[in-house]
Structures are given as C-alpha cells and as structure tokens.
Amino acid sequence: MTNFAKKKLLEICCFSLKSCKNAEKGGADRIELCGGLLEGGTTPSVGLLKSVVDEISIPAYVMIRPRGGDFLYHNYELQEMITDIKILKEYKPAGFVIGTLAPNGDIDLATNARLLEAIGDFPVTFHRAFDMCKNPHLAIEQLISLGIENILTSGQHQTAIEGVANLKEYKGIASNRINIMAGSGVKPTNILEIATADLDAFHFSAKKSFSSKMTFRNPNINMGDKDADEYLNYEADLELIKQAKAVIETLYTA
C-alpha cells in the first residue's frame, strides 16, 4: 500500500552518474533517471542504471519512454517499453516513470495497464504526459484507479509557477490518494510560491552547462540538430540542489 509522505520530497531529474552523485550529496530524496536530455527524457541505458544502483543510495526511478515527441505509441513501441521494463527490473531500481495517452487526449488505460503489469510491484510515477491530457480531473481519478503513486505535472502550463492554481486544484482532487509533484521551471527561488499549492514533492533538473573539453572542433559538421550546441555538457548542479533542499526543509520543519 502506498505511503503518502507528509514530508515534502525533492526529486532531481538526472541524465548521468555524476548528476546522480550531486543529487545525493545535495540532499535530494529521489532521482528520476533518464537518457535523452534534448528529448525531454527517454529510457536510460542499462549501464547507467546499473552504475546508479551500485553507487547511489537514494531511490532512483527509471524513465520508460522510447523517444521524444508525443505520448501516443504504436504497438511496436509499447512492446519496446515492456521489454525495457523487464530488462531494467533485473537491476532493482526503486521505481519506474511511465505515461501514455490515447489519440483523443485521454489517459490510455489499456496501454498504461500493460506497462504496469510488466512493472509489477515497483512504485510508479506518471510523468508530464499528464500535462498533455484533455481532462486532468478525470485523469487523476483514472491514475488513482491504476495504482499510480505520483503524478508529475506543471499544472498544464509551461511551468509549474504558472500552473500553481491548477496544482492546488489537483492536490485537492487527489485528497492524499496520490502524490502531486510539481515539475518544469522549479528552482530554489520559486519553490515557496509553488508550495502554496500544498504539494507532495518538487522535481527539477538543477541543470548547469559546462563547456566541452574538446580542443579540436570541426566547424563544418553537426552530428545532431543544427541549432544545438554540441560542445556544451549538462549536469545537475550541487549548489542548486542544496539550495532547493534548504528551502523545502523550511516547509516541514517550521
């Protein structure tokens, strides 16, 4: 049975082992482990998950998402996700992160149920596919019925700070039957304002860019998107994580 914590949790979205180590050092309560930073988070590699499980003590929920873009998946993509789940389960992550939608914008109950069947007893977060659904009030009830533990949402706005009114509404509808976690644009300077919605958790990447150490750079070729700077690397910043944790601690120690 899900234990809905009164303590306000800090979850860091991480794309590397180094970022996970910074999350742990900074006092984060949980990690969302992803690949594909530029796609907004996709399924990470087996190697990354194994390294995190072996070296990090805080819980890591692993993203299951085969690609960027929308959350409507073909049957072969669904099978890919199920196969990924079965493989990644062997490395004992703390939980999983999923989310699929039907063409009309509803929660796709059938495909999410198939993913949950593959996941088994691991706790699950429904990611920001929720913010792209047509009827968030109905979706909350449906996700509760599926046994989902957490909903990650920006209140169906671009950022959580813009969606505070909706987040408060969702928290009321959830009525402690499912955790509502704010994500998108969360940072130490706005956590207190977002917290007026009485949320259960805060999710952010604490992302900071670092210049590549490559000294030779061929200016004539792009390996990916022509607008992307391929000589910038990103990690979760230790100081930002510490600052966010300190702010959140004031919410349940006062």
**Residue 98 domain flag:** yes
Closest CA to 240 of 1, 4, 19, 5: 19
**Residue 191 domain flag:** no
**Each residue's pLDDT tens digit, 34-56:** 999 888 899 999 999 999 999 99
Residue 32 has pLDDT above 50, yes or no: yes
Question: What is the reported pLDDT for 224?
Answer: 75
Residue 90's domain spans which residues? 9-124+196-212+226-253
Residue 242 has pLDDT above 80, yes or no: yes
Confidence of residue 253 (pLDDT cuts 50, 70, 90): low
Question: What is the reported pLDDT for 1?
Answer: 30
Question: What is the reported pLDDT for 3?
Answer: 40
Confidence (pTM): 0.93
Which has more pLDDT, 230 or 156? Answer: 156
Residue 103 has pLDDT above 80, yes or no: yes
Across the strands, what pairs with 204? 12
Q: What is the CATH number of the domain that holds 237?
A: 3.20.20.380
Residue 118 has pLDDT above 50, yes or no: yes
**Residue 61 domain flag:** yes
**Residue 171 domain flag:** no
**Residue 169 domain flag:** no
Closest CA to 183 of 218, 157, 209, 219: 157
Closest CA to 21 of 245, 187, 244, 235: 235
**Residue 170 domain flag:** no
- Residue 109's Cα: distance from chain center in Å? 20
156-to-138, 142, 159, 160, 199 alpha-carbon distances in Å: 14, 17, 8, 8, 15
Q: Is 6 exposed, middle or buried (0-12, 13-18, 19+ CB in 10 A)?
A: exposed
Q: Are 37 and 234 in contact (CB under 8 A)?
A: yes
Number of domain units in the chain = 1
Percent of the chain with pLDDT over 90: 85
Angle, in degrees to the nearest 10, between helices 46-55 and 75-89: 30
Residue 254 has pLDDT above 60, yes or no: no
**Residue 205 domain flag:** yes
Beta-sheet pairing, 207-211 with 232-236: antiparallel
**Residue 82 domain flag:** yes
